[in-house]
Amino acid sequence: MKTNEKPQRFEAAALLEFATQLLLKAGLQQDMAETVAATLLESDLMGHTTHGLALLTPYLGSIEQGHMTLSGSPRVISDTGASVTWDGHRLPGAWLTHQAIDLALDRIKTQPVITVAIQKSHHIGCLAAYPERATQKGLMMLLSCSDPGFNRVAPFGGTTGVYSPNPIAAGIPTSGDPIIFDISTSATAAGMVNQTHKAGQKLPHPWLLDADGNATDDPSTFYDEKAPSTILPLGGMDTGYKGFALGIMVEAMTTALSGHGRANEPNGWLSSVFLQIIDPAAFAGQQAFTDQMDYLVEKSLASAVPEGNPPVRLPGQRALKLREEYRKDGVPLSAIITLSLIHI
C-alpha cells in the first residue's frame, strides 16, 4: 500500500473491538483496555488523527518495554475534598483521566469546583476526547497536560528545548452543541511533526526552529541526531512570547501542582495532568451562564466574513460534525496508520 493512497474507511465498532483486543492481548486490565481503545477511537472520530489509533502501536511498544503499568490504582497523595492529587504509577493515561472525571463528577454535586492533579500518568492522548462528559451535564471542564520527559519546545528567544507542547483543552456548555477546543501552547504538536515526517511532506508553516535560530517547515530537522530543531512556542517568531507564557502556565498547573516534573529528570513516556470541573450553577447560575455563552455563539456565527470565505466556525464544531459522519460512513485511516496496524 502506498502512503499517498486515499484513506480507507472502517466501521467504528470494528476498530474499537480490534484495538481493545490488542490491548488485552498485551496484558492490559479489561476496563483499562476498553477505555484506552475508546479514547483513541474518539480522537479519530473527531478528526484528531495524530492522537487516535496512530498511538496504538507506540502504546503497545510501551507496554512491551515495561513503561506502562497494566493494572492497579493511583495512589492518593492529597485529598482536601475539592482538590485531589494522585500518583498515577504510569497507569494508562486515558483510564486515569476518566477515573479523575468520574471522581470530579461525583464530588461536583456538593462543591462548586473540583480539581484533580495527576503525576506520573502515562500518555493521555487527545484532550478533546474528554470534555463532553462534563458539558453533557451543563458543566465546564478545563484539562491540560505536560510530558516532563520530553523537552523539545524552545522558550521564546532560545534554541534549546526546555518543555513539551503542553496542550490546553476546555469544554464549555451552551444551549446547543458544546464549545470544545484542544490547542497546544506550541506552534504544533510533536505528533504532527512525526506524522508529516513519515509522510515525506513539509509542515504547513515554519513551526520549527533549527539550531542556528532559523524557522523551518522541514520536519526532518526535528530528527537530526547532531543538531535537532525544536518546536516554536505558539505565536512563532513574532509573538511566541505569548505561547511561552501559556506553556509556563501549563507547567505550573500540571508538573508543579502534581509535585513531579522536569526537576525530577524523569525518563520515559509520562504525563502530568491538570483537570478541573466547574459548576456554573454555583456562580451566577446556570441560566445566566447559558445566556452569556449563547449570545457569544450567536454573534460569532453571524460575524461578517470576506467575500468567498466560509462562515465562522466555533471550536469543536468541525469535530462534532466529523464524528457524526464517521459513525455513519466509517472512520478514515491514512495508509500510514493502516500499515502500522497491519504490522502489529
CA 211 to chain centre: 27
Q: Could you give the residue ranges of the DSSP H alpha helices within 172-212?
A: 190-198
Quote the CA–CA distance of 34 and 322 in Å, as a whole number: 22
Q: How many other CB atoms are found less than 10 A from the CB of residue 175? A: 11
pLDDT tens-place values along the chain, 344 residues long: 344 567 899 999 999 999 999 999 999 999 999 999 999 999 999 999 999 999 999 999 999 999 999 999 999 999 999 999 999 999 999 999 999 999 999 999 999 999 999 999 999 999 999 999 999 999 999 999 999 999 999 999 999 999 999 999 999 999 999 999 999 999 999 989 998 998 899 999 999 999 999 999 999 999 999 999 999 999 999 999 999 999 999 999 999 999 999 999 998 899 999 999 999 999 999 999 999 999 999 999 999 999 999 999 999 999 999 999 999 999 999 877 777 777 67
| pLDDT number for residue 7 | 83
**In degrees rounded to 5, what are phi and psi of residue 42?**
-60, -35
Quote the CA–CA distance of 337 and 339 in Å, as a whole number: 5
| pLDDT number for residue 4 | 55
CA 46 to chain centre: 12
Report which of 93, 99, 130 is spatially closest to residue 116, judged by C-alpha positions.
99
Report which of 12, 10, 6 is spatially closest to residue 323, judged by C-alpha positions.
12
| pLDDT number for residue 335 | 76
Report which of 95, 96, 98 is spatially closest to residue 106, judged by C-alpha positions.
98
| pLDDT number for residue 5 | 65
| pLDDT number for residue 104 | 98
Element housing 295 (H / E) = helix 286-301
**In degrees rounded to 5, what are phi and psi of residue 225?**
-70, -30
Q: How many other CB atoms are found less than 10 A from the CB of residue 291? A: 13
Q: In the structure grid, which three cell numbers stand for residue 116, read together?
A: 484533580
Is 8-187+232-286+321-342 CATH 3.30.1950.10?
no
